[in-house]
Structure 1
């Protein structure tokens, strides 16, 4: 794509009164955004409505200035602009009902066409059990060569990305806002880590805030990229179930971790299982459902190897514990404790939460 074609794509992507499916249909008919805009009146007649941006008729001459600035921003920040004519456009995503006509990618775009992409989703207000499962399972999937796809939200998404970054296959974060917007703000350091080692992607133009209506669109991309979607923890009203429903529509495998029948936070999971979703309990189950060859030895993380590591795990127990609390119990130099905690985190034995709070990954409760 030359610059003129990219600017046309940016302008057409900013049209707000056309759905992704309608934009896709026009793109299929006219082959690129430049032709759509050059035949604007004819193109508008297809769905019998004029192109509008935030309720105002599209003024191409006015929008070209903003499109030029947006394109320069993408170039300066090494953000790939990939439309459906690009050979690097994700193959799986291309064949969903309403694929985005363009995606903006920061980081390793080649991950999007990887053989083994797995969606890991769940509640923003996750329990400690859900968090540790998201982290450990995602880390094991990454160690087995599967790329973890999630939404960079708080809770399950955050720890899915964090776990996947601990393995070689890495992770893809799909945003519900512009590529230049970090949401939630607390996730900025995770955004940067994913951008560096994995990929951050969105279909939304730069500057677009995380509007509520954007997240179902984001969820369809998580599903569209993936071989299957695993729900770690979700209530009956969780947005993660939207992703699971998209997975069904896309012909993807739907998996769910079971929870106690009395647990509201797992109501969505148990409902999915009743409706036929695969019941999974670990990374090996997910890989088996998806038909991904794996060696279980790769999924076994090294056990604690020193006395201080074992002591730290004993102090943490079944709760979340601060660095200060560990220090007060062990009465060991803080430098030794932090060094041991770092090794335990690398081994997948503990998860670090904001504020230097630590919890144990359930696989070590033997």
Structure 2
């Protein structure tokens, strides 16, 4: 069952603005201090929530004495020092930029703030939104997350399940990353239903760029969301943090496929901590790309063989908003990629991706030794996942130098290794 959707955890009362801010500065009373609070450096969302619970509003926090702030649970001396910065210039610029870009801001004090997200331990104080705000809380939501380089099996399963769930009345939530995320969003749109994308950067930045069609179409019927203000770049550290929002918006998380080391497992872990159910699709036990999902099932995740396994749970909780599906439910041709989501690399027998041929232009850039080797390797991987041998052949450096550079990039979290010595951007 999904107890979180039926009985959201009690939360401490928090102030509510009279309206959700949509455009311009005309109704922004109090919003300036929300943005000030949410953008203070090194003050986590969890600590911000503790401050709001104890002091009631950003304005009260802004006016509180250092002694009062220090008395709040979990607040350290460094946090008090950060809160001593009373400048509102950055917040004012963010509000102006948001209005200029047509972004909507909702705060943890607004009535329209998603109730399930409000109930987690570290809800974002401010959400920047573009699209249809009514997408939030109007239908049950399921997060669909998985690897950026799915196998053909994982890609097909993600699209088919997301399509059937969307047709049945479920809002699909994901992170608009390449691969599984993009497949899930595209499937929802192809079903003619809204979808919600949670970004790890400012909403004025389309990342990754190959998902530009999704970036443009999702807000027409659904919603783009971020806790980061306009202009924030897609830093690697942002993505694990935003995963709590993906799971926090939903009553459950579905993982169609995941290797042992996958960002989608972070989202699944967030879901479990938040009291959400985790659903996982099983795979062959000797295929690395399914090691993560098989481990989730072993550890208690609900095994999914079709959309009906999930919808039977949701239909009990939302009898008037979710339809059930039968075994012969309408399916989606996973090859119908009208949104040009990241193509699935061809697979070898061992499950490794076969390198996509590189263009002459890319090979010329790869041979330019005036550019750091790590930068050139990342440029090659931005095109598609590549086998180590293909990368070694593409650059003039020795195999040892390339291997060393790949190791450093992997340790820095910029790339990850797929089965069969194949590498992809993280």
Q: What's the TM-score, normalizing by structure 1?
A: 0.78
Task: Please name the residue that 1:11 is paired with.
Answer: 36
Secondary structure in 2 matching 1:113: coil
Cα 1:52/1:282, change in 2 over 3 Å? farther
Deviation at 1:185, TM superposition (A): 1.9
Task: Please name the residue that 2:103 is paired with.
Answer: 79
Task: Please name the residue that 1:351 is paired with.
Answer: 336
Cα 1:42/1:109, change in 2 over 3 Å? farther
List 4+ stretches of structure 1 deviating above 4 A: 50-53, 355-359
Q: Report the Cα distance in structure 1 between the residues aligned to 2:129 and 2:329, rounded to whole angstroms.
A: 32
* Alignment of 1:113 onto 2:137: yes
* Alignment of 1:189 onto 2:189: no
Q: Report the Cα distance in structure 2 between the residues aligned to 1:122 and 1:40, rounded to whole angstroms.
A: 45
Which one of 180, 183, 198 corresponds to residue 174 of structure 1? Answer: 198
Deviation at 1:279, TM superposition (A): 0.8
Deviation at 1:357, TM superposition (A): 7.1
* Alignment of 1:296 onto 2:325: yes
Task: Please name the residue that 1:48 is paired with.
Answer: 76
Deviation at 1:300, TM superposition (A): 2.8
Q: Report the Cα distance in structure 1 between the residues aligned to 2:47 and 2:269, rounded to whole angstroms.
A: 21
Cα 1:171/1:40, change in 2 over 3 Å? farther
* Alignment of 1:100 onto 2:124: yes
Q: Is the 8 A contact 1:182 1:191 kept in 2?
A: yes
1:193-242 deviation line (CA, Å, top 9, x unaligned):
11222101111222222222222221111111111101011011101011
Deviation at 1:176, TM superposition (A): 1.5
Q: Report the Cα distance in structure 1 between the residues aligned to 2:203 and 2:334, rounded to whole angstroms.
A: 33
Secondary structure in 1 matching 2:143: strand
Task: Please name the residue that 1:312 is paired with.
Answer: none
Task: Please name the residue that 2:251 is paired with.
Answer: 227
Q: Is the 8 A contact 1:117 1:148 kept in 2?
A: yes
Q: What's the TM-score, normalizing by structure 2?
A: 0.68
Which one of 30, 38, 63 corresponds to residue 63 of structure 2? Answer: 38
Cα 1:349/1:176, change in 2 over 3 Å? closer
1:266-292 deviation line (CA, Å, top 9, x unaligned):
100000111111110222222123345
Secondary structure in 2 matching 1:229: strand
Task: Please name the residue that 1:246 is paired with.
Answer: 270
Q: Is the 8 A contact 1:13 1:205 kept in 2?
A: no
Q: Report the Cα distance in structure 1 between the residues aligned to 2:341 and 2:275, rounded to whole angstroms.
A: 41
Which one of 234, 238, 252 corresponds to residue 210 of structure 1? Answer: 234
1:67-88 deviation line (CA, Å, top 9, x unaligned):
2221122223332211111000
1:39-65 deviation line (CA, Å, top 9, x unaligned):
263454232324589xx886433xx23
Q: Is the 8 A contact 2:189 2:195 kept in 1?
A: yes
Query: What are the equivalent positions in structure 2 for 1:60-79 lying under 5 Å apart?
Result: 60-61=86-87, 64-79=88-103
Cα 1:355/1:197, change in 2 over 3 Å? closer
Task: Please name the residue that 2:294 is paired with.
Answer: 270
Secondary structure in 2 matching 1:149: strand
Cα 1:124/1:113, change in 2 over 3 Å? same
Secondary structure in 2 matching 1:180: coil
Q: Report the Cα distance in structure 1 between the residues aligned to 2:229 and 2:343, rounded to whole angstroms.
A: 36
Task: Please name the residue that 1:88 is paired with.
Answer: 112
Secondary structure in 2 matching 1:104: strand
1:163-185 deviation line (CA, Å, top 9, x unaligned):
01122432110111222222212
Q: Is the 8 A contact 1:26 1:43 kept in 2?
A: no
Q: Is the 8 A contact 1:143 1:299 kept in 2?
A: no
Cα 1:137/1:30, change in 2 over 3 Å? same
| Greater helix fraction, Structure 1 or Structure 2 | 1
Structure 1 stretch 105-114 or stretch 150-159: which is displaced more?
A: 105-114
Q: Report the Cα distance in structure 1 between the residues aligned to 2:91 and 2:341, rounded to whole angstroms.
A: 40
Task: Please name the residue that 1:257 is paired with.
Answer: 281
Q: Report the Cα distance in structure 1 between the residues aligned to 2:84 and 2:54, rounded to whole angstroms.
A: 20
Secondary structure in 2 matching 1:301: coil
RMSD: 2.6
